[in-house]
Structure 1
Amino acid sequence: MSVTTSEPPEQRASRDATTLRSGSLGTADIAFFVVSAAAPLTVMAGVAPLAILLGGIGAPVGYLLAGLTLAVFAVGFTTMSRHVTSGGAFYAFITRGLGRPVGIGAALLALIGYNGMEIGVYGLLATTTRDTLHSLVGADVPWLPVSLAGLVLIGYGGYRSIDFGAKLLGVLLVAETGILVLLAGGVLLKGGAHGLSLASLAPAHVFVPGTAAVLAFAFAAFTGFESTVIYRREARDPERTVPRATYAAVGFLGLFYAFVVWIAVQAFGDDQVVRAAGDDPAGLFFTAIATYVGGWAADLMHLFIVTSVIASLLAFHNAINRYALALAEEGVLPRRLGRVHARHRSPYVAGLAQTVLGALVVLAFWAADADPYQQLLLWVNTPGMIGLLVLQLLAAIAVPCYFRRVRHTEGALRTVVAPVVAAVLLVTAIVLVVTHIDLFTGASPAVNALLVVVAPAVFLLGLPLAWWLRRARPDVYTGFAAEPDEPAGSTGATVPPVSAK
């Protein structure tokens, strides 16, 4: 006689309720999170005019080059994602390739980087909302209530299920990209200012002194695209969904950015667009859409910039919560942060902690009488951007190191050539951003120096933390970034990875 044992239904339901909701996200859903984090409308209307001012009519090509660089990075990145399935994403990849001390430093850098990218944007939310209300109804509102209301709204969005977030971001993303497509349609139908031109693609206009600055802006515009792997545990068929979403996000952003910047050039003409960008950079896109579509479309663009910022905040908030969840499960952060909501299956405690942290930072800048854009956004956002670029570089280096030590059937193009090329290109990107840091911050040299050193300083803090964990909490140290089915203490060097099939 055989005996069958199983969990009681209520115990099984209780256990299942403590995990994220698997199989919830398809390729489009994950791509929505990634593209929304990049905030295409905000990047175009707020930053692209500066790229045109500095780089001239060749600026569209800068976005293509940045997209190509990150597509090369995605080759090795997505290949490794089929073999490393930990919820820690960046820090898990780096740990498996470069060791636990480096991985723990990367985990701290990921927390600071993503929090910096998100919390600073509450300053942008305040300024865009204030500008929109002033433009539409002539009202002037203080910035603090807007930022605090945004914190509550985003906190609620993160508290709800991932399905809710995906649907909301889908709607908001369609709105912000749709208004840019509307602008493009108006310019193309009317033939631009002086007829459509492809002079932006000419080498003489691409390889100019300002191209370095354009590339710095362009790389910053893709920040957060790599967060596709964070949603692996909630993805349907993650071996296929995650790589597809990554390539879809990078491809869309690169082509869309370049196309929209080219449209802006056509709207004013090759010989006038730089002057127009210099005269009114903040109003360049609003002037263009009012001219080619109508004043009502400019009003819509004002509204959709606000929703674009909200979408970016929610996307980064969800990514941060899942990083915190993974680190809580690792034992590096307090275990309480790893609690998952019984009904929504969201990391709600981590979300609450992130919302409280955001509120404290916002209130601190308000108490210091800081400007929400010049200080809160730029001073908090910039170290986060640099931190994520450094994480991308470390992940690119980790890929060939990992595959050199494990048995696999992947080709050298994916495991060696593409990651090495990506690492070289990412070093170039980091150098461009750091050497043009004043364009991002508008701050003094002393402040810029401080903002640049935040990322390496946080990373280096991980080394003594790793040493302490190894001595004081060896179980946490040896289990850090381990695969669910692998013995504690292994770094994956002798364990065959998951089949790529």
Structure 2
Amino acid sequence: MPDTQTRPPTSSADGALKRNALGTGGIAFLVISAAAPLTVMAGVAPLAIGVGGVGAPAGYLFAGLVLTLFAVAFMAMTRHVKASGGFYTYISLAMGKTMGLASAILAIVSYNCLQIGIYGLFAVQTHDMFKVLFGLEVPWPAIALAAVAAVWFLGYRGIDVGAKVLGVLLVAETGILAIMGVGILSSGGADGIGLGSFSPDQMFSPGILAILGICFAAFMGFESTVLYRSEARNPDKSVPRATYIAVGFMSVFYAFIVWTVVQAHGEGRVVEAAGELAGGLFFQTINHYVGPWAEAVMYVLIVTSVYASQLAFHNAINRYVYMLARDGVLPAFLARTHPRFQSPHRAGQLQTILAALVISICALLNADPYQQLLIWVNTPGIFGIVGLQGLVSVAAFLYLRRNPDAVTSKLLVPISLVSAILLFGVVLLIGLNIELLTFADSLTNTILILVMPVVLLAGLLTARWVRRHRPGTFAQIGSFETHES
């Protein structure tokens, strides 16, 4: 059992993460924006339709169902773990400090893979926007590096500014997708409105198993509600509510939008259309059913949508690095906060440099921003986060078994076990079907699959080294507790 000693508040010299008394709505806005609905839909949903077929909407519902079970197990621990360390703290509490530190390292690498990879999508979509709307050809590396600088600036200024911006972008991008969906349904689609996407033969087709990685990736970031625990009003209530709101909304909304796009092109032709139009599928659809003005708006909003997800991931990464630095595992300077904005600006600077470095290397190697930077860099991150969710479910199972007083329902323990089994099963299915996600050769796919197991092993070895050579630091792992007053 890890040390749960409460540390004193930081001094004014060191600063502390800014607290903004975010309510349920504020946290939910932040978290839903982490997934950026327009990014998920216009950016990668065409690939889900092309591979998964007419039943693609069911993939998002399945992912939402599994992650709802995970959320139930996850939230069962939040009343007893008063910390902002996310997966790191929860796994440390139930599975020990060695696994806790390894999971923290795995989380940092996974979130970085997701955040940095998405710059490829940002570059592609922004390039297309400039070309379609203004007739300009802007090199993708310039766009990606400009986005890195923009994300750093807003993250540097602190969560208050980030929350406001993310909230505005969320409303706008959700609105344009909803307008498209309503336009499709009101016109009757291509062949009338049907429910073939939810028939058993479509929902359980082999293609659905192949797109699970895409569907689960659409929810990445919803678990970051706990990272803002210290900034929430009444976190014991607002954090669980925000988590359920986030996963519930995303599950239903994603499935609805993908289903309407299937109706727009017809169940017999939508797969062909997704293959031909690729990233242009949603833009062509909204142009046809709503009008050219809506296509122009969507182009602008997808750029801001990707930016929103980047900022949310950036903030989540910074908080993991901040917590490890506060626990003494990483250099102390990474735990310093800005004297004015109270943001973890040193951690943000490190993440920004890493993102710029990866993008620059891809540019020098003439890598494709969508295939190599987005898909290939994102894939290990998907493995890592879904695997971490499985570990958290195991942690919840162990914690609830050891602490019967924390069990508020007899269903909590079996739900946490079922959640772990399903999530590790998803990791296996993604690995077995990885070629349909990456379109890469077997060697590349093997490397992408092995990245996160190697990172986890390195984390375990690091934790053992810290335990042996720095016992004082090891005793602090996972022990930082926030002050809820």
TM bucket (normalised to shorter chain) is over 0.9
Quick check: 2:211–2:437 contact (8 Å CA) kept in 1? no
Larger Rg: 1
Structure 2 residue matching 1:328: 3-state secondary structure:
helix
**CA offsets, 1:217-274, max 9 Å, x none?**
2112111211111111111111111111110110010000010011101112222222
Quick check: 2:158–2:342 contact (8 Å CA) kept in 1? yes
State the match for 1:366 in structure 2. Answer: 363
Name the CA distance, whole Å, in 2 between partners of 1:118 and 1:313: 6
Q: Within 5 Å, which residues of 2 pair with 1:131-280?
A: 131-280=128-277
Structure 2 residue matching 1:24: 3-state secondary structure:
coil
State the match for 1:393 in structure 2. Answer: 390
Equivalent of 2:88, from 86, 91, 95? 91
Gaps of 5+ in 1: 1-11, 487-497
Aligned letter for 2:37? P
CA deviation after TM superposition for structure 1 residue 485, in Å: 9.1
CA deviation after TM superposition for structure 1 residue 77, in Å: 0.1
Name the CA distance, whole Å, in 2 between partners of 1:34 and 1:396: 20
Aligned letter for 1:421? V
**CA offsets, 1:72-99, max 9 Å, x none?**
0000101111111222210111111111
Equivalent of 1:471, from 451, 464, 468? 468
State the match for 1:297 in structure 2. Answer: 294
Quick check: 1:24–1:162 contact (8 Å CA) kept in 2? no
**CA offsets, 1:100-135, max 9 Å, x none?**
111111011011011111111122211111111111
Q: Within 5 Å, which residues of 2 pair with 1:414-493?
A: 415-484=412-481
Name the CA distance, whole Å, in 1 between partners of 2:346 and 2:437: 33
Name the CA distance, whole Å, in 1 between partners of 2:89 and 2:410: 22
Aligned letter for 1:422? S
**CA offsets, 1:360-379, max 9 Å, x none?**
11112222222222222222
Quick check: 2:40–2:218 contact (8 Å CA) kept in 1? yes
CA RMSD of aligned residues (A): 1.9
Name the CA distance, whole Å, in 2 between partners of 1:47 and 1:251: 20
The question of 1:120 aligning with 2:117 is answered yes
State the match for 2:324 in structure 1. Answer: 327
The question of 1:350 aligning with 2:319 is answered no
Shift in CA distance, 473/394, structure 1 to aligned 2, threshold 3 Å: same
CA deviation after TM superposition for structure 1 residue 17, in Å: 7.2
State the match for 1:402 in structure 2. Answer: 399
**CA offsets, 1:41-85, max 9 Å, x none?**
121112222222223222211111110100000001011111112
Shift in CA distance, 189/17, structure 1 to aligned 2, threshold 3 Å: farther
CA deviation after TM superposition for structure 1 residue 23, in Å: 4.3
Greater shift in the superposed pair: 473-482 or 26-35: 26-35
Q: What is the aligned residue count?
A: 476
Aligned letter for 1:444? D
Quick check: 2:400–2:406 contact (8 Å CA) kept in 1? no
CA deviation after TM superposition for structure 1 residue 161, in Å: 2.2
Greater shift in the superposed pair: 189-198 or 259-268: 189-198
Gaps of 5+ in 2: 1-8
Greater shift in the superposed pair: 452-461 or 189-198: 189-198
Name the CA distance, whole Å, in 2 between partners of 1:312 and 1:483: 27
Quick check: 1:470–1:477 contact (8 Å CA) kept in 2? yes
Shift in CA distance, 468/138, structure 1 to aligned 2, threshold 3 Å: same
* TM-score, structure 2 normalization: 0.94
Greater shift in the superposed pair: 48-57 or 63-72: 48-57
Quick check: 1:25–1:163 contact (8 Å CA) kept in 2? no
Quick check: 1:79–1:414 contact (8 Å CA) kept in 2? no
Structure 2 residue matching 1:120: 3-state secondary structure:
helix
Name the CA distance, whole Å, in 1 between partners of 2:411 and 2:357: 43
CA deviation after TM superposition for structure 1 residue 33, in Å: 2.1
Q: Within 5 Å, which residues of 2 pair with 1:304-323?
A: 304-323=301-320
Name the CA distance, whole Å, in 2 between partners of 1:126 and 1:53: 22
Structure 1 residue matching 2:329: 3-state secondary structure:
coil
Name the CA distance, whole Å, in 2 between partners of 1:241 and 1:203: 37
The question of 1:376 aligning with 2:404 is answered no
Aligned letter for 1:350? A
Name the CA distance, whole Å, in 2 between partners of 1:147 and 1:53: 27
Greater shift in the superposed pair: 94-103 or 414-423: 414-423
Name the CA distance, whole Å, in 2 between partners of 1:465 and 1:84: 24
Structure 2 residue matching 1:130: 3-state secondary structure:
helix
Quick check: 1:23–1:237 contact (8 Å CA) kept in 2? no
CA deviation after TM superposition for structure 1 residue 333, in Å: 0.6
Name the CA distance, whole Å, in 1 between partners of 2:208 and 2:119: 30
Structure 1 residue matching 2:110: 3-state secondary structure:
helix
Aligned letter for 2:444? V
Aligned letter for 2:365? A
Name the CA distance, whole Å, in 1 between partners of 2:242 and 2:265: 35
Structure 2 residue matching 1:15: 3-state secondary structure:
coil
Shift in CA distance, 13/476, structure 1 to aligned 2, threshold 3 Å: closer
**CA offsets, 1:288-314, max 9 Å, x none?**
111111111111111111111100100
Shift in CA distance, 188/150, structure 1 to aligned 2, threshold 3 Å: same
Q: Within 5 Å, which residues of 2 pair with 1:68-107?
A: 68-107=65-104
- Using the aligned pairs only, state the percent identity: 51
Quick check: 1:55–1:213 contact (8 Å CA) kept in 2? yes
Name the CA distance, whole Å, in 2 between partners of 1:369 and 1:284: 26
Structure 1 residue matching 2:211: 3-state secondary structure:
helix
Quick check: 1:73–1:419 contact (8 Å CA) kept in 2? yes
Quick check: 2:10–2:16 contact (8 Å CA) kept in 1? no
Shift in CA distance, 391/369, structure 1 to aligned 2, threshold 3 Å: same
Name the CA distance, whole Å, in 2 between partners of 1:63 and 1:315: 21
